[in-house]
């Protein structure tokens, strides 16, 4: 039986390991695209929900948009 071939070359793997070990950041923010999924998307969701809550409170306090 022949040994299984690796998915990536060993040099590429060692290069990625060195990059991840040299970054002095939190574990969930180490890859370049992690900032989008861990910071930007939750911030956008929080901002949109705060906007909708504020708009709802404004409409309730002024009696706008009531259904008769």
Q: Which helix (H) or strand (E) holds 50?
A: helix 41-62
- On the question of pLDDT at 17 being above 70, the answer is yes
The CB density around residue 27, as the number of other CB atoms within 10 Å, is 8
DSSP designation for 36: I
40, 37, 19, 41: which is closest to 28 by C-alpha? 37
- How far, in Å, CA of 33 to CA of 30, rounded? 8
At 39 the pLDDT is 85
- 50-66: per-residue pLDDT in tens? 999 999 999 999 999 88
């Amino acid at each position: 039986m022949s040994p299984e071939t690796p998915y990536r070359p060993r040099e590429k793997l060692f290069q990625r390991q060195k990059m991840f070990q040299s970054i002095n950041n939190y574990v969930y923010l180490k890859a370049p695209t992690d900032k989008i999924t861990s910071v930007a998307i939750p911030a956008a969701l929080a901002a949109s929900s705060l906007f909708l809550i504020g708009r709802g409170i404004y409409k309730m306090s002024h009696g706008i948009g009531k259904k008769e």
